Amino acid sequence: MKTIVYTVIFLTMTVGCYGQNKENMKNFDSNFVHTVYFWLKNPDSVEDRKAFETSLLKFMRDSKYAKTNFVGVPPKATRDVVDGSFTYSLVVSFESADAQAKYQTEEAHNLFVAESSSLWTKVIVYDSIGI
């Protein structure tokens, strides 16, 4: 019984110390999700990747409207239905379609496009609203 009690206390403290909280993470908002895939012109260029990542992460840090964001790269595909042809992905959540529209014209977005658009050959966007 002591083992169970200690395990519960340990897990509670672990989640409390390392889990999601208001200081270190905002809640994902399923009202409006903006998913973007980028194909860089020179995906093997360390310099291009660094420039793109720096600009994109700065944009996400400075955006007034993005509620949450995730920046990723494709993992090694293990199934035929997985498209790993892109170089980077970006998933951003918003409280509303209106907030996402404002994000498209905000200064941080415009700066990102100006800094990085010469680095990519293709961009595909998928927008979704929660059901």
Secondary structure of 25-48 in HEC code, one letter for each residue: CCCCCCCEEEEEEEEECCCCCHHH
**Burial (CB count within 10 angstroms: exposed 0-12, middle 13-18, buried 19+), residue 112:** buried
Residue 88 lies in a domain: yes
Range of the domain at 33: 26-128
Give the count of domains, the chain. Answer: 1
Q: What one-letter code names the amino acid at 50?
A: K
pLDDT, one tens digit for every residue, the chain (131 residues): 544 433 333 333 333 333 333 443 457 777 899 999 999 999 999 999 999 999 999 999 999 999 889 999 999 878 889 889 999 999 999 999 999 999 999 999 999 999 999 999 999 999 999 88
pTM: 0.76
Residue 67 lies in a domain: yes
Span 80-104, pLDDT tens digits: 898 899 999 999 999 999 999 999 9
Residue 1 lies in a domain: no
**Where residue 96 sits, what CATH number does that domain have?**
3.30.70.100
Residue 108 lies in a domain: yes
